[in-house]
Amino acid sequence: MRRFLMCPPDHYGIEYEINPWMRREHPADHALAAAQWGNLYETLGEMPDTQIELVNPAPGLPDMVFTANAGLIKGDLFIASRFRYPERQGEEEHFERWFASHGFVVETLPDALKFEGAGDVLRAGDTWFGAYYYRSAPAALAAVSEILGEEVLPLRLVDERFYHLDTCFLPVGDSLVYYPGAFDQYSLTVIRGMFPDAIEVTPEEVATFACNSVVIGEWVLMNTGAPRLCAALAARGLSCVTTELSEFLKAGGAAKCLTLAL
């Protein structure tokens, strides 16, 4: 059984600007956002062997809908995020309370190191990768590695539009889909060395948040607008399942940001 955590978009909106996608003069259509979130919830729920848990949304925390940033999960261990921007720091207590009351062991990082959970740390193949620069601190990745007792390879982000690792780096099976323009040359050398068969996404398709997808077996659940990637995935026996998430792109997130694999 695959379990996911989602948060209904009751309080979702563009209320501040903490990444280049957010512009208060381009507000989200609340009804449309609610409908898109509902479609995602249903589509995900219809996938084989999936179950969705919900955390109650809190007023004044519009980004709580992006549960992937709550923390990092490994088994029953939950490493709580410490958000870089004060606008999101209020989410921390809600998520910690939910995980503590749902049987997870909650760990926090020392020295209030900035860390944004499964938004920045992902497992690809048999290796954890952690992104830093815009949100998580490099020292946080070392601290996470200590808690996990596993290697976490730091990757350096260089394009502020792709401020979280999960906006430009999508592990698929033993391989990877990624956008090269989001990483510096050192990190590209590492990625290309470890994933010689990785699929590179075009600048046009990465802007549709094609990398911000949820992989369930041979299914890849994503926003619309990335036919080339879907064709490349199809050549490897994977199928795209698309659902329109335009209202969430206005805040810089899509399918992966809206779900947290438990």
Partner 1 sequence: MNAFSEIVELKGHIIDSLSLPRVLDAILAQGGEFEFESVSIGRTRAEQSVVKIRVSAPDQATLESVLAYIEREGANRLDQGDAQFVPAPADGVFPDGFYCTTNLPTRVRINGSWLAVERIEMDCGIVVADGRAVTTPMNHVRAGDAVVVGHEGVRVETRPRAREAGVFEFMASAVSSEKPKTVMIAAVARMIAETKRAGKRVLLVAGPAVVHAGSTEAVAGMIRGGRIDLLFAGNALALHDIEAAIYGTSLGVSVKEGKPAAHGHEHHLRAVNTVRGVGSIAEAVRRGIITRGIMYECVRAGIPYVLAGSIRDDGPLPDVITDTLEAQDAMRAQIPGVGLALMVGTTLHSVATGNMLPAEVEVVAVDINPAVVTKLSDRGTHQAIGVVTDAALFMQELARMLGEEGLCAAF
List residues with catalytic annotation: 164, 257
Nearest distance, CB of residue 142 and partner 1, angstroms: 4
> Distance between CA atoms of 134 and 19, rounded to whole angstroms?
9
Site for partner 1 in 147-206 (CB under 8 A): 149-156, 184, 186-187, 189-190
Nearest distance, CB of residue 82 and partner 1, angstroms: 16
Nearest distance, CB of residue 64 and partner 1, angstroms: 28
> Distance between CA atoms of 233 and 29, rounded to whole angstroms?
32
Quote the longest CA-to-CA distance of the chain: 46
Contact flag: residue 139 with partner 1 (CB under 8 A): yes
Based on CB atoms, which residue is closest to partner 1, 125 or 203?
Answer: 125
Contact flag: residue 145 with partner 1 (CB under 8 A): yes
> Distance between CA atoms of 246 and 250, rounded to whole angstroms?
7
Contact flag: residue 141 with partner 1 (CB under 8 A): yes
Based on CB atoms, which residue is closest to partner 1, 83 or 132?
Answer: 132
Residue pair 98/62 in contact by the 8 Å Cβ criterion:
no
Q: Residue 127: helix, strand or coil by DSSP?
A: strand
Per-position x/- string for 118-137, each x denoting binding to partner 1 as judged by CB under 8 A, each - no binding: --------------xx---x
Give Cα 5 distance to the centre of its chain. Answer: 12
Residue pair 135/84 in contact by the 8 Å Cβ criterion:
yes
Find the angle CA(168)-CA(245)-CA(51) to the nearest 5 degrees: 90
Residues lying near partner 1 in the complex (CB under 8 A): 132-133, 137-139, 141-142, 145-146, 149-156, 184, 186-187, 189-190
